């Protein structure tokens, strides 16, 4: 009798260990980047691309960006370019773009969170993602 209950307890512990190993926490994580600009300055912020598991671009056109919320005088655009998605372990350039920030007529120091919406044009339709950027402006 004692052996049977120990066996059941061992199986239960093994079951819970296997379930716990495959469980994933579901959280919302905002990856926020920082940008500092002076009046009249433009900077290249980063690469924009959309790839599949085989490191091939899934884009049919250059991605577009829209400023949803942000400081006045700051413009964001995407310039068409071949980019290397090294973050995903890819070594060859794919079609995508470079995100550019530019500030015009900055009169006072400010620190603002900017919300961007990037639209990726794929064969399966448009895909939209948002991105948050902390922008510090200097006169």
User: What are residue 22's phi and psi, to 5 degrees?
Assistant: -95, -5
pLDDT digits (tens, 9 = 90+) for 24-74: 333 344 567 899 999 999 999 999 999 988 899 999 999 999 999 999 999
pLDDT digits (tens, 9 = 90+) for 68-125: 999 999 999 999 999 999 888 888 999 999 999 999 989 999 999 999 999 999 988 9
Where in the chain are the domains?
A: 33-138
Domain boundaries 33-138, CATH class: mainly beta
Structure tokens at 50: 């959309």
Structure tokens at 115: 């919300």
User: What are residue 10's phi and psi, to 5 degrees?
Assistant: -65, -40
Percent of the chain with pLDDT over 90: 65
Q: Within a 10 A sphere around the Cβ of 118, how many other Cβ atoms?
A: 19
């Amino acid at each position: 009798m004692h052996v049977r209950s120990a066996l059941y307890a061992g199986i239960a512990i093994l079951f819970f260990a296997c379930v716990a190993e495959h469980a994933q926490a579901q959280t919302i994580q905002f990856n926020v980047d920082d940008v500092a600009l002076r009046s009249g300055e433009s900077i290249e912020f980063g690469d924009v691309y959309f790839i599949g598991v085989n490191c091939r671009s899934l884009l049919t056109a250059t991605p577009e960006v829209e400023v949803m919320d942000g400081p006045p005088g700051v413009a964001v655009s995407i310039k068409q370019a071949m980019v290397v998605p090294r973050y995903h372990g890819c070594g060859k350039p794919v079609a995508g773009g470079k995100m550019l920030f530019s500030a015009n007529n900055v009169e006072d120091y400010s620190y603002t969170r900017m919300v961007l919406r990037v639209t990726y044009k794929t064969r399966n339709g448009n895909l939209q993602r948002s991105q948050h950027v902390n922008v510090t402006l200097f006169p």
